[in-house]
Structure 1
Amino acid sequence: MDLMSALQNSVRAAKQSRGEEVGEGEVREMRPKKKAPAKKATKKTAKKAPAKKRPAS
């Protein structure tokens, strides 16, 4: 017995034990996903000058 048929038999047995209708299953048409809005490129900020060292007190 191959793995796929073993899985199908297991699913069928589980459905029967729960009292669900046992059959081939439903095929539904999938709707296309909504596209996420395009991300805008972020502007690069000007580089900061390095912090100046304070003279020791």
Structure 2
Amino acid sequence: MAALNASVTAAKEARGETDDDADVHNLPTKNTATKKTTSKKSPRKKTPTRPKQAG
């Protein structure tokens, strides 16, 4: 485990990372009051098909 920790520390130093915490930014909030509702669509009416003619 010590070898793993040493490897991680060496990799972080090579990338120039520090032990500082990451910067946290607030995400913009969405206005849910303007959400549009979709209207319910009626199912498509089927038209009768002509019977096939023999022959």
TM-score norm. by structure 2 comes to 0.46
TM-score (norm 1): 0.46
Larger radius of gyration: 2
